[in-house]
Structure 1
């Protein structure tokens, strides 16, 4: 049965018009956010050099039926932040930098792979491809992602593109289940650098995409539909670009909730990736991701 991640939109209780509407309460939320992160998702401290290995559970498109005999996992979250305006060119990582399912954040990677393919052939995206790319990024449309996933050559095509983009820890499963691609927070920072970096030569592949391709991805990520404007943007001043992803596990009923993007923090341009799993609900997952994002950028606000 074809995999259909993110079939349901966020519940109304967690939809937000835009992070811009929450600026008045950001300071108070930020002050409590760091503490809440420690209490809710574990101490948000720099990760050790070695990452723990994890095993992925099976996911299907069936209605989730949590197994009452299966113990509930503790929610986990990992955040990575790279300040583009800082001399340091390595991201700060909080939590264990272990693999998580991408869910729909993989759609940025799919679009990057599509644009590399377009660059190689010397042909611009067709009108249909552009319509599919816009739907995939702005509305997180899964049907469009299915089509473009096939267009790039599925897992082998993504792997070839990621080698050029400098990603080293992102692995897709064979077949149609693009939402079960595994990635790490630091690899998502590498992807974001390929899109939002300065354009200077880099061994990490940040110049593989042409300026036109990078501008195209950036533009779509700044035009996310209002109902999906949550996640790392909660830690941003006005001016952000993002892509979110979420899925519910069939075997446990628990939620993977992720968010990646470029945000502005007190004049600093930061790339932020927050990945989480084991959340009891999507609402809880969104709250955990936003708290982690605020806590992770706090050193930037203090600098």
Structure 2
């Protein structure tokens, strides 16, 4: 599917002047396509990874999340609350905790941000597919109830934060990330999530950097998400 995805992007997204990576996978067939394989800052999409780590650690400790942890998790995912994220980042043991959990989940190209800078975690679009598959696929190191909890939060992100993957499916479960870089004034804009495309359950990850404005970055990510959905649709119709 790589060629299909590249073709769709060449028709619709200005990939020449901006750095972007897109990955999409049909959860039923396992078919996937990837465009661009560099590493990118996660910005706030890492909050899904932080929650998955917290849930894994709670299971290891033979417990469920406390009501306060659940509230903070909801604020972190649905409202992208950074203060709640700071607390949960410390709770998982920061960078070391995230890296250890990612090794178990199967993320091989993701490295946690250091010195509390969780938004500077580095990842690839392919690794984000692995994380999304662990949440929305059929087999996972995460417990079913934990996966359902993450999904329920990603299905109800705050109005105004529901752009990105949702262009492929208005009922998508998603998390977005946005980060202006102090040194350049340019934006990192990312979107990950699960969407129904032509009746098929799929996961999409779009990572980008170098947009002049947040609005420009969002438009780019949404164009790429549409291209990913079109590639899935073309693959399905070719069967």
Query: Is the shorter-chain TM-score for this pair beyond 0.5, marking a shared fold?
Result: yes
Structure with a larger share of its residues in helix: 2
- Of 2, 8, 11, which aligns to 1:35? 11
Q: Name the SS for the 1:261 alignment partner.
A: strand
Deviations 1:138-184 (A, max 9, x none): 00000000000000000000011001101100001322100000000
1:239 aligns with 2:185: no
Q: Which residue of 1 aligns with 2:3?
A: none
Q: Which residue of 1 aligns with 2:224?
A: 292
Cα pair 1:41 1:77 within 8 Å, conserved: yes
Once the two structures are superposed, the pairs formed by residues 27-176 of structure 1 within 5 Å of their partners are: 35-37=11-13, 40-42=14-16, 74-86=17-29, 89-94=30-35, 96-176=36-116
Deviations 1:73-121 (A, max 9, x none): x4211100001122xx252102x21100000000000000000011011
Q: Name the SS for the 1:226 alignment partner.
A: coil
Q: Gapped runs of 5+ residues in structure 2?
A: 1-7
Could you tell me the TM-score, scaled by structure 1's length?
0.73
Q: Gapped runs of 5+ residues in structure 1?
A: 1-31, 43-73, 200-206
Structure with a larger share of its residues in strand: 2
Cα pair 2:23 2:33 within 8 Å, conserved: yes
Q: Which residue of 2 aligns with 1:209?
A: 142
How far apart are the structure 1 equivalents of 2:190 and 2:201?
A: 20
- Alignment root-mean-square deviation, CA: 1.4
Offset at residue 35 of structure 1 (A): 3.0
Q: Alpha carbons of 1:77 and 1:248: their partners in 2 closer, same or farther (altered >3 Å)?
A: same
Deviations 1:238-272 (A, max 9, x none): 43100000000111000000000000111011100
The total of aligned residue pairs comes to: 228
Q: Name the SS for the 2:174 alignment partner.
A: strand
- Of 179, 191, 194, which aligns to 1:259? 191
